[in-house]
């Protein structure tokens, strides 16, 4: 047993030998000695706890007066007046008087024949496009023309010379298995021929360098972090200024982080000056995945929905039949005015969304809306 005790004792500091007087000063080599702590037993046979606490307090005061401990922790007084004046302004604080530019007029980016006419300037004239530099959500039920609208917006953007990125998260963009499927790229080129008036070969030769596609399908194991990597590359390295994401929900199929993801995306787009259209899915109830929070997070929102005709009078106003429904679109914006009523929409002969000519008579459209 004695051998084990000696071995255990080796884990602690060596005790001073009998012929060496320990240095009781604190800090070492100072002239002031630490007062001894008395452990004499009290009349009751136990250590006097009050006396012991008093001795410990005196020891702490002696250590502080000797400079061994700070008199006050810095964190205990975070707002004390600094002794020196800080000349440099922290980078994350904005001093308004240093800003040169003040009020500016919101600009529009013309990428769609209908969507671009739903936003207004301060004088209620047409803005001329969707709000530039903003993140816009486009939500609606299945088969309401959202993806077809996305393809048309890409075509209009590249024809204006704007470098564009298209994030595809729902279906494959290109069928490399030659299965005979009319894939997304095939549908894109058909719309391109209609919109541009060029042949497939002419359009590709002229504009193929102005758009890229980022496949981000969940079945390929792509994560949100990988999407961020690819998206940043498109914006920072390839200098894309217009982006479309189809759809934000499929970047996170759990649907748990849709709003947070959109908020992070919006902040990044602000910093880089990117105009972005984010397509979102809706539930069977017509409410977007993410709920109203999705609208609040985005600066601009376009929402396609069905409007039921609950009376004959209502059906007559909307140019429909009793108990039928019409498809309408509503616009919201934090950065500019919008039409303050629903616009009835339909599909043209090419299957693309346009404003229907049978609108309610009390809807006052701005000048040039029907041009």
Is residue 123 a contact partner of residue 339, using CB atoms and an 8 Å limit?
Answer: no
* Alpha-carbon radius of gyration of the chain: 35
pLDDT score recorded for residue 354: 97
State the Cα–Cα distance between residues 272 and 80, nearest whole angstrom.
38
- Low-confidence residues of the chain, pLDDT below 50? 1-17, 25-26, 37-40, 42, 45-46, 71-82
What DSSP element (H or E) covers 108? strand 108-109
Q: Are 204 and 188 in contact (CB under 8 A)?
A: no
What lies within 8 Å, CB to CB, of 38 at 6+ separation is 48, 51, 52, 55
Asked if 350 and 148 count as a contact pair (C-beta separation under 8 A), the reply is no
- Cα separation, 263 vs 290, whole angstroms: 12
What pLDDT, on the 0 to 100 scale, is given for residue 166? 97
Identify whether the C-beta of residue 124 lies closer than 8 Å to the C-beta of residue 330: no
DSSP assigned state of 238: S
The reported pLDDT for the residue numbered 13 is: 45
Residue 80 is given by DSSP the state P
In angstroms, the CA 296 to CA 201 distance is: 42
Q: 334, 136 in Cβ contact below 8 A?
A: no
DSSP helix/strand/coil, 280: strand
Question: What count of residues does the chain have?
Answer: 371
Nearest alpha-carbon partner for 300 in 99, 94, 112:
112
Q: Distance between CA atoms of 342 and 332, rounded to whole angstroms?
A: 11
User: Taking the mean position of all CA atoms in its chain, how far away is CA 340?
Assistant: 27
Domains and CATH numbers, the chain: 131-353 (3.40.50.300)
Helices (H) and strands (E) in the chain, counts: 9, 13
Q: Which long-range contacts (CB under 8 A, 24 or more apart) does 230-238 make?
A: 230/167, 231/165, 231/167, 231/265, 231/268, 232/268, 234/165, 235/165, 235/268, 235/272, 235/274, 236/272, 238/163, 238/165, 238/212
Nearest alpha-carbon partner for 36 in 50, 46, 26? 26
pTM score, two decimals?
0.72
Q: What is the 3-state composition of the chain as percent helix, strand, coil, each rounded to the nearest 5? A: 30, 20, 50
Paired tokens of 144: 């309401």
Q: What does the pLDDT read at residue 135? A: 94
């Amino acid at each position: 047993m004695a051998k084990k005790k000696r071995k255990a004792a080796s884990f602690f500091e060596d005790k001073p030998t009998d012929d060496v007087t320990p240095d009781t000063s604190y800090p070492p080599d100072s002239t002031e000695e630490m007062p001894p702590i008395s452990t004499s037993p009290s009349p009751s046979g136990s250590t006097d706890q009050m006396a012991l606490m008093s001795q410990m307090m005196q020891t702490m005061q002696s250590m502080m007066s000797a400079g061994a401990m700070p008199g006050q922790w810095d964190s205990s007084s975070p707002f004390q007046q600094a002794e020196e004046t800080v000349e440099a302004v922290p980078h994350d604080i904005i001093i308004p008087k240093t800003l040169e530019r003040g009020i500016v007029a919101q600009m529009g980016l013309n990428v769609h024949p209908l969507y671009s006419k739903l936003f207004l300037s301060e004088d209620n004239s047409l803005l001329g496009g969707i709000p530039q530099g903003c993140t816009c959500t486009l939500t609606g039920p299945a088969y309401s023309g959202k993806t077809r609208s996305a393809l048309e917006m890409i075509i209009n953007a590249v024809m204006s010379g704007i470098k564009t990125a298209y994030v595809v998260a729902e279906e494959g963009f290109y069928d490399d298995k030659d299965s005979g499927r009319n894939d997304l790229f095939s549908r894109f080129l058909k719309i391109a021929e209609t919109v541009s008036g060029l042949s497939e070969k002419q359009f590709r030769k002229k504009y193929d360098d102005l758009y890229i596609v980022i496949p981000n399908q969940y079945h390929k194991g792509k994560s949100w972090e990988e999407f961020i990597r690819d998206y940043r590359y498109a914006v920072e390295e390839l200098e894309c200024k217009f982006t479309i994401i189809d759809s934000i929900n499929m970047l996170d199929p759990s649907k748990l982080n849709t709003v947070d993801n959109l908020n992070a995306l919006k902040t990044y787009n602000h910093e880089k000056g990117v105009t972005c259209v984010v397509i979102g899915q809706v539930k069977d109830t017509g409410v977007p995945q993410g709920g109203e929070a999705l609208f609040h997070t985005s600066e601009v929102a376009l929402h396609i929905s069905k409007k039921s005709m609950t009376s004959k009078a209502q059906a007559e106003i909307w140019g429909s039949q009793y108990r039928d429904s019409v498809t309408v679109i509503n616009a919201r914006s934090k950065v500019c005015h919008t039409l303050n009523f629903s616009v009835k929409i339909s599909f043209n002969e090419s299957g693309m969304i346009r404003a229907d000519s049978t609108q309610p008579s009390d809807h006052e459209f701005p000048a040039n809306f029907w041009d």
